[in-house]
Every structure is written in structure tokens, then in C-alpha cells.
Amino acid sequence: MFNHLLHHTIGALHLLSAVIALLAGAAVLLRTKGTRFHVWTGRIYFGAMLMTNANALAIYELFGRFGPFHVLALLSLLSVLIGLVPVLRRKPGWLERHASYVLGSWVDLCAAAVAEISSHLLRLPFGPTVIVSFAVVIIGGVTWMRVSLAKRFPSPAAATT
């Protein structure tokens, strides 16, 4: 019974932290960058993503062992951590690198949310649903990221043409 409660508690914390990260990430994207709100909401996002990924690494119900979703959690964790490094170092080009990694981590989180909703709430077949929803959201998200980042950080070559 304790094992069952442990998994459900971890799953509930995973879900709660993921929802907080989704909302905090959306708030950062919709508001002015560089403000106190941006900094504090970004910290909430960072903390929620750390918790989301830590909890994901503790969930073994699907495969009973380390599986592909654990690899994705590690990659997500790496993306969030790499997104923080430019902020701490403040070397030339840091802002674009920060934006790219954090935006990428948020798109990945959105892909995971769509996969979860599609497979669990809509009760669509798990494997194909996860693959298709991840692919669609990632392709759309990367396209959106490129356009958004190109507007915010135009290349020097584009400015001279």
C-alpha cells in the first residue's frame, strides 16, 4: 500500500509542478522581458521544472525500470539548466542563448502536456498518441521559436539587407 501511495504522491507532485511550470512559462512569454516580474516568474518556472523532472525520474510505473521518458526528463533538466547558465555568466550573446534554451524547454513541456492529455484524458492509444503529439507540438513549437527569436534577435546580416 505504501508503494502505491508513494507513486501516486509523486505523480500528483509531478502533475502539480508541471502545471505550475506551464503557467509560469506562459506568463513569462506573454509579459515584458527583463522586469522584476520576469525574473521572479522565471525563478518559479525554474523551480517547478526542477521538481517536475525530479519527480519524473522517480516514476517507474510505466516500464518498471528506467525508460525513454526518464531520458526525456534528463534532457529537459539539462535544457533548463543550460538556459540558466547564460544568465549567470552574462557573456556576449547570453540573452539569445537563454531565450532559446528556456523557450525550448517550455515547448518540450507543452509537448509532454499534449501527449499526457491525449493519451490519458482522451484515452487514445498510448504509443502512437505520444509519438504523434510530441512530433506535432515540437515541429510547431520549433517553427514558432525560430520566428519569435528571429524577431527578437535579428541577425546582423538581416539588418544590412
Using CA atoms, how far apart are residues 71 and 141, in angstroms rounded to an integer? 20
pLDDT at 3: 55
pLDDT at 65 over 90: no
| Whether the predicted pLDDT of 1 surpasses 60 | no
Contact (Cβ atoms closer than 8 angstroms) between residue 138 and residue 107 = yes
pLDDT of residue 157: 57
Report how far apart, in Å, the C-alpha atoms of 2 and of each of 5, 8, 98, 106 are: 5, 10, 41, 33
Size (the chain), residues: 161
pLDDT tens, position by position, 17-31: 999 999 999 999 999
Q: Decide if 41 contacts 21 (C-beta within 8 A).
A: no
Please state the domain extents for the chain. Answer: 2-155
Per cent of the chain over pLDDT 90 is: 54
CA dist 109 and 26 (Å) reads: 11
Q: What is the pLDDT of residue 69?
A: 86
pLDDT, one tens digit per residue, over 79-136 is: 999 999 999 999 999 999 999 999 999 999 999 999 888 887 788 888 888 889 889 9
Highest mean pLDDT among 2-6, 45-49, 89-93: 45-49
Higher per-residue pLDDT: 6 or 59: 59
C-beta separation of 78 from 131 below 8 A: no
Task: Name the residue with higher pLDDT: 5 or 73.
Answer: 73
